[in-house]
Structure 1
């Protein structure tokens, strides 16, 4: 078992737009498709949850993998 903690970064290999959801899924060891589907469902269902704005902010804040 590796003792190196996983860092949060945007994925270069598992991306649809910017790699945000792929990076989050990799960080926590989750399935990236499931993370994407849950994000879309929560964004559509909740009018108080501005999904596009949150995604854009995460895109700006989370560094790209390898940087």
Structure 2
């Protein structure tokens, strides 16, 4: 199973949706559409995205291989 990391290829903003899609075997477009639809609901979606952007290591970084 893939680890949770932001890929170098296929990023649009931070690579969070692409990383989640890669981890769960989904298409990145599906995750991006689900995220955009979730923004129609009240909640901390943007805060969660930024937190994942900070927490998820980038593919090939030292944290990702450790």
TM over 0.5: yes
Matched residues, number: 61
Deviations 1:37-56 (A, max 9, x none): 00110122x11x22111110
**Aligned residue for 1:51?**
45
Gaps of 5+ in 1: none
Which one has a bigger Cα radius of gyration?
1
Gaps of 5+ in 2: 62-66
Runs of 4+ in structure 1 deviating by more than 6 angstroms, as ranges, are none
**Aligned residue for 2:30?**
34
**Aligned residue for 2:9?**
13
Kept in 2, the 8 Å contact 1:40–1:51? The answer is: no
Kept in 2, the 8 Å contact 1:12–1:65? The answer is: yes
2:60 to 42, 55, 66: 66
